[in-house]
Amino acid sequence: MRTFVFLGILFITGIATAIAQERGRAGGGSGTIYGKLVDAAGGKPVEYASVALLRQADSSLVTGMLSKGNGDFSFEQVAQGRYILRVNFIGYTTIYKNVQLAPGNSSKDVGNVVLKANVRSLAGVEVVGEKPTYTMAIDKKVFNVSKSLATTGGTAEDVLKQVPSVNVDIDGNVSVRNGSPTIFVDGRPTTLTIDQIPADAIESIEVITNPSAKYDAEGISGILNIVLKKNRKAGINGTANAGISSLGGVNAGANLNLRQDRFNFFLSYNLRSRKGWMNSHLFRKNIGSDTITYLDQYQDGDRFRRFQFGRVGVDWFIDNRNTLTISQGIVAGNFGNDNDQTLYDLDASQQRIRYGTGIDNSERSFRNYSTQLGFKHTFAKTGHELTADVNYNRANGDNSTDYSLQYYNMAHEPIVEPRQPELRYGRGDGNTTYFTGQIDYVDPVTENSKLEAGLRTTARTFNNQMTTMGLNYQTGEFELDSALSNRYHYKEHVNAAYVNYSGTIKDFGYQAGVRAEQSFYNGNMQSAKNSEYEIDYPVSLFPSVFLSQKLKGDHELQANYSRRIRRPWFRDLLPNLEYNAQSASRGNPALRPEFTNSFELSYLKTFAQKHNVMVSLYYRNTNNAITDFYTDTTLILNDQPQKVVLSYPVNAATRNAWGAEFTVRNEILPGWDITTNLNLAQTKVNADNLGTDLTNSGFVWFGKVNSNTKLPWNLLLQVTGNYESKRIQPQGEEAAEYQIDMAIRKDFLKDKSLSVTLALEDIFNQDRDLSWTRTEFAEQERYRKRASRELRLNVSWRFGKMDVNLFKRRVNRGGEGDQQQQMDNDG
């Protein structure tokens, strides 16, 4: 309740400010004439166009200016009277419009002035500029997904593997600079996972390694923002695509956009099906008090992913200062893993003494709904705006598990010693809701400074239940297996407020801000004792400071600092036991947030608009570092004791990382550019607070190369390669790995609207996970591999008709059609 009151106060304050600004223009004997220039074809702002104000009586010049970067123009302190507004710019037809400032109405908003291309003057002009795959700035790096050929027909997981600075492991866990980022969709949290978002629905990926106080403090290595496709071109336009893969996968989709006058409708739909094999191998040395034994386990099976992704919405341009947007997304799918397992028990000399066979299958289906409502008000002053939005996500799901294991002696005869046969099944369901409300206000205090402020609230609720039934071979009846059953409820609420002030003094830039966040957690699990908890974290402050200096020769130096937090995820807190492949994991209700102080020094240099070099030195100091802890324990499964290695998250004392990142983009030859990213880091994890000999350190590095080459016959060749060295853990390490992808695209038709892409992912079939873990009584090696070498063929067709009179009706006064290009005789 307190959060909504706080949001209401800020919203009312913003509206009051807007009204005051409007009223401030009225009164007295003078006023303001303002508006915005937009392009008729794409609806984008027209910058640096000449805007002149002439007296209507004699057409003499009163004043003039160039339109701002966002197309805005404004004339202050204009005497009351009748005027002519003249707008002209190279390549566009000159516009004349009558304007009157009358007593009692001294503020005149002329709306969006639409400029039409002058076809005659543009004849013979060939546009050769093209958006690059990767663009770099001091504060943000943007990966243009439409230029990534290898991800066509894939998912967001495939896209993120292509993005410089980003790593994705075999389980879909994402890291940036060896740390966990926060992942957003369109700048807001989501209940979707990266394997539920089709690549063909993504416009770009934004990488913000050290965000300012304006952004969430969550995420020790910054923010990854997945921007979905949506355009506002006039008329009707869109894309359609379809594809197949060598693993039996198929994909199809379409994006449609329809804009006329004050409305812009957008619709997208994607269908994705993916198949593949997978296998794993676990080899464990069990160190007993008087003997040593070994476990050798293999799993082989298939995995499938099928889902549909739909999104529909509308932008309503109420007037040239207010825009209302509403959209609805629906995602539904079914993911499954089917595994055959074989276990061998070995003696001290590693000779097989018995073996077991069975299955370990799981399946889940889901349906996700996401609703977004946004409002934006722009003031006459350039950059002065108020935005408010509400996002609601709900996900429903069902899941099931089936497990069996029968032991045999080496003569292949069934045995019941030392373990009886296991047969169990689990059935469950759950739902998740995620609400976000945010208000942002931006005020350019002066020409060289800006004030930003905002409020945000997020509320998440999780409900889940799983009932696991195991066969009791003594009675022949299925009984509840309490160790693998659960029923839990979890709620999380985070409130935040921020203020930022930035400005420039000649070539020196500065920004200082602070964000305040408070959070509340509570949860309970009915199937376990002492599983109810309630945690209230007090208000924490997260300051940020950015300093930049532009130097001669088109290069820039920046130093920044920010404080970050990683709060425990709900599964990190719940003492819910999960068992798979002779390994077990659970949550830890005593887990606390980790706090990170992040420092960064960056240098950006551009050479002749063809070569970009960015070097960043960074240091992160983390207290209460969240990490996985492994221990030996015995579980009671199907009323039988079983020794396993149990993992759960804990707070280590500290984790320190310092490193350097180099990103270089070179245009080697016209039509051939290469982007190289290299990250070097030294990491040290100190977990002595959990026991002796739990401190580990090491040097890690990561490299990624993206090459794009234009070839004759409308061909484009793209090659991507990445390498990641071993990673350090408190009780072990993960092996190095690499992957190389290649794709080629052929464009057809005169306007290149038809494209065929052939992509080969993981050419050398090297994407796998290999790790080593050590505990007091066990040494374990775990290898996992899934089908990663995949050949995909995709066809894409772009269509469109830029027709501003699509609906064949006359535009009302004040609209964005041809009326604005005629004389407004009534003033």
Residue 191 sits at φ, ψ, to 5 deg, of -90, -5
Average pLDDT, the chain: 85
CA R_g for the chain: 30
pLDDT in tens, 521-534: 888 876 656 567 78
| 100-122 mean pLDDT | 74
Q: Looking at mean pLDDT, say which of 175-179, 407-411, 485-489, 583-587 comes out highest.
A: 407-411
pLDDT tens, position by position, 706-730: 999 999 998 999 999 999 998 877 7
Question: Do residues 558 and 528 touch, judged by C-beta distance below 8 A?
Answer: no
pLDDT at 109: 83
Q: Does pLDDT of 629 surpass 80?
A: yes
HSE at residue 47, side-chain half, CA atoms within 13 A, is 5
State the pLDDT at residue 796: 94
Domains annotated on the chain, with CATH:
2-125 (2.60.40.10), 235-801 (2.40.170.20)
Q: How much is the pLDDT for 482? A: 81
Q: Using 50, 70 and 90 to split pLDDT, how confident is the model at 293?
A: very high
Could you tell me the pLDDT band of residue 675, with boundaries at 50, 70 and 90? very high
Specify the higher pLDDT residue, 178 or 369.
369
Per-residue model confidence as pLDDT tens digits over 732-742 = 889 999 999 99
| Lowest-pLDDT range of 154-168, 178-192, 561-575, 796-810 | 796-810
Calpha distance 16→557 (Å, rounded) = 39
pLDDT, tens digit, 9 for 90 and up, residues 487-521 = 888 898 999 999 999 999 989 999 999 999 999 88
pLDDT at 20: 45
Q: Note the pLDDT tens digit of each residue in 213-224.
A: 998 998 888 899
- List, in order, residues 6 or more apart from 732 with CB less than 8 Å away: 630, 771, 772, 773, 774
Contact 721, 738 (CB under 8 A): yes
Predicted confidence (pLDDT) per residue in 303-318, tens digit: 999 999 999 999 998 8
The pLDDT of residue 29: 65
Q: What is the 3-state secondary structure (H, E, C) of 162-198?
A: HCCCEEECCCCCEEECCECCEEEECCECCCCCHHHCE
Residue type for 590, please?
A: A
Given a cut of 60, whether residue 818 has pLDDT beyond it is no
Measure the CA–CA gap between 47 and 37, rounded to whole angstroms.
8
Provide the whole-model pTM: 0.77
- Percent of the chain clearing pLDDT 70 (strictly above): 88
SS3 426: strand
Q: Measured at the alpha carbon of residue 593, what is the angle toward residues 589 and 598, in degrees to the nearest 5?
A: 160
pLDDT above 80 for 285: yes
| Per-residue pLDDT band at 404 (split at 50, 70, 90) | very high
Is the separation of the CB atoms in 197 and 155 below 8 Å?
Answer: yes
Give the pLDDT mean for 816-826. 35
pLDDT in tens, 22-53: 444 444 467 888 888 888 876 778 887 889 88
Return the higher-pLDDT residue of 40 and 623: 623
Determine the average pLDDT of the residues in 344-363. 95
Which pLDDT score, from 0 to 100, does residue 692 have?
A: 62
485 in Cβ contact with 466 (< 8 Å): yes
The model's pLDDT over 177-199, given as tens digits with 9 standing for 90+, comes to: 878 888 988 888 888 889 899 99
The confidence score (pLDDT) of residue 473 equals: 82
Residue 543's pLDDT is what? Answer: 96
Are 251 and 198 spatial neighbours (Cβ–Cβ below 8 Å)?
yes
Pick from 536, 535, 522, 537: which is nearest to 488 by CA?
Answer: 522
Question: Hey, CA dihedral for 664, 668, 670, 674, is it positive or negative?
Answer: negative
- Residues contacting 750, CB < 8 A, separation 6+: none
| 167 has a pLDDT exceeding 50 | yes
pLDDT of residue 817: 36
pLDDT tens by residue, 681-694: 998 888 888 776 67
Label residue 136 by pLDDT band (50, 70, 90): confident
pLDDT of residue 307: 94
pLDDT, position 4: 45
With cut-offs at 50, 70 and 90, classify the pLDDT of residue 823. very low
Strands 594-607 and 555-566: antiparallel
When mean pLDDT is compared across 126-140, 278-292, 603-617, the lowest value belongs to 126-140
Contact (CB, 8 A) for 225 and 197: no
| Mean predicted confidence (pLDDT) in 600-624 | 90
The answer on pLDDT for 822 being more than 50 is no
Q: How far apart are CA 71 and CA 88, in angstroms?
A: 13
The answer to whether the beta carbons of residues 226 and 252 sit under 8 Å apart is: no
